[in-house]
Chains A and B, each alone.
Chain A
Amino acid sequence: MSFKNVSFSKEELARYNRHIIIPDFGLEAQQKLKAAKVLVIGSGGLGSPLLLYLAAAGVGTIGIVDFDVVDESNLQRQVLFGVDDVGKPKTEAARKRLQSINPFIQINTYNTQLTSQNALALISEYDVVADGTDNFPTRYLVNDACVLAGKPNVYASIFQFEGQVSVFNYTDKTGNTGPNYRDLYPTPPPPGLVPNCAEGGVLGVLPGIIGSLQANEVIKVITSIGEPLSGRFFVFDALTFETRILKITKRSDTPVIRELIDYEQFCGVKAVERKIKEITVEEFIRWQQSGEDIQVIDVREPAEYDEVNIGALLIPLATVTERAGEISRDKKVVVHCKMGGRSAKAIRELEDKFGFGNLYNLKGGITAYLQEANTVTNS
């Protein structure tokens, strides 16, 4: 980063005045911010505060990678977006909002999924990466690409009421590079064990807190002020207000990262879908209409069931083992959840543990069922 030649207009100087007058920050740190290029991966819960603060603070070039569109259910925590943005690509909505906050910065948008094919080229164009993704495959991809490209990876992750922050792959002034995500978690948890997002959800304000801490670390990494959270792992519990800073170190017993791999396979995401019986919504409706005696089980959470259900027996995924006795062994049993992910897990667990052979996964879950039912009603 060559920041010495960076200059500011009168408007910019006025805008950044509260930064510049901090004795330990000054014009130099502001110049470094303007010269910096930060790639933010994911513009959701964490990406929202992160992008808002980085833009407001005057990071000169911000890249945003996201392939999603704004959904109503995002607005509970993704404060970057408003009602008018629903249905629009997140990258476009984000660009508009950020440019209105700070017209003096450059926003690059990538309305695409980060993949093993495009990650290195993209990341190489930036100085710092901020990882605000919400799934394990992308997390490992971002980590490995940052290690290969030699870029610091400012990491944050959230789940329900709990948040984590760290700065991975950070090279300090003496040339020592700190630990990365794989030093902490060499491999992801196998599907079915802790914690995939089967019982998900997140308190809306939590990504606000954690994403702001992430923005703070990005600014520290760029400006070299303070001590970046490298070699340290911050854990926050919003319920107990307990915060801990744990020491993390590089491990010698993990394989060296040499290339990007198939991360879906690595995280077992593909394996989850293997060999269970499925039925489509159409077939299911045909079974129902034919008067065949079938049992229907809903493995979602009670709150989801209360919101909408199709009269199935509610057995939340976490309780299928203990309530296996309530599931019929003689007739056909159709298991469903919202989209089909949790019900697939439930079926595998029931097959593995109790040898069920009469379970069918409803393809597309209750979402597909309601859509189909609507179509039928409307026609």
Chain B
Amino acid sequence: MATVIIPTPLRKFTQQQSRVQVKGNSLQEALEELTRNYPDLRKNLLDENGKLRNFVNVFVGEEDVRNLQNELTPLQEESVISIVPAIAGGNIV
């Protein structure tokens, strides 16, 4: 089972969990399972075609998946997937 680290702004979609375990041999499978379990995450991570949105960065280990094989990046049991969204301040409007 790979581990997905959920960043603060997305935790409202994962019942405040900061780490989620997912099955999957590839990043695509892992993200499919993640967004199946937490459907509200989907529109924040994936577009209509199931591709990663361009304002969300995903890393496997310390590597940007764009420099690996994007959605097809293979995962190991101990893989750690980081989702890193753009953040800017904490003002309330």
Residue numbers of A with Cβ under 8 A of B are 45, 133-136, 139, 157-162, 164, 184-190, 193-202, 233, 235, 237, 239-240, 242, 244-249, 251, 304, 318, 337-342
Closest to B87 in A: A159
Do residues A200 and B55 form an inter-chain contact, with CB atoms below 8 A? no
Do residues B84 and A233 form an inter-chain contact, with CB atoms below 8 A? yes
Give the complex CA separation of A199 and B7 in angstroms: 14
Residue numbers of B with Cβ under 8 A of A are 5, 7-10, 12, 18, 43-44, 53-57, 59, 62-64, 66-67, 82, 84-93
Could you tell me the distance in whole angstroms from the C-beta of B24 to the nearest C-beta in chain A? 20
Do residues B10 and A194 form an inter-chain contact, with CB atoms below 8 A? yes
| Chain A residues in 8 Å Cβ range of B88 | 133-136, 139, 157, 159, 197
Could you tell me the distance in whole angstroms from the C-beta of B8 to the nearest C-beta in chain A? 4
Could you tell me the distance in whole angstroms from the C-beta of B73 to the nearest C-beta in chain A? 14
Give the complex CA separation of A251 and B56 in angstroms: 14
Query: B85 contacts which of A161, A189, A237 (Cβ < 8 Å)?
Result: A189
| Chain B residues in 8 Å Cβ range of A135 | 88-89, 91
Do residues A158 and B18 form an inter-chain contact, with CB atoms below 8 A? no
Do residues B57 and A185 form an inter-chain contact, with CB atoms below 8 A? yes
Do residues B91 and A162 form an inter-chain contact, with CB atoms below 8 A? no
Do residues A198 and B93 form an inter-chain contact, with CB atoms below 8 A? yes
Query: A134 contacts which of B43, B53, B91 (Cβ < 8 Å)?
Result: B91
Of the A-B pairs whose beta carbons lie under 8 Å apart in the complex, a sample of 23, sorted by A's number, is A133-B88, A157-B88, A159-B90, A162-B87, A188-B55, A189-B55, A189-B85, A193-B44, A194-B10, A194-B56, A194-B86, A197-B88, A197-B89, A197-B91, A199-B12, A200-B91, A200-B93, A233-B84, A235-B84, A237-B7, A244-B5, A249-B64, A338-B93
Do residues B12 and A159 form an inter-chain contact, with CB atoms below 8 A? no
Could you tell me the distance in whole angstroms from the C-beta of B44 to the nearest C-beta in chain A? 5
Do residues B8 and A160 form an inter-chain contact, with CB atoms below 8 A? yes
Closest to A44 in B: B89
Give the complex CA separation of A287 and B48 in angstroms: 43
A161-B8 contact, Cβ under 8 Å, with A133-B88, A135-B88, A197-B92: yes
Could you tell me the distance in whole angstroms from the C-beta of B31 to the nearest C-beta in chain A? 15
Could you tell me the distance in whole angstroms from the C-beta of B80 to the nearest C-beta in chain A? 8
Do residues B55 and A133 form an inter-chain contact, with CB atoms below 8 A? no
Most chain B beta carbons < 10 A, residue from A133, A164, A251: A164
A202-B90 contact, Cβ under 8 Å, with A162-B8, A194-B44, A249-B67: yes
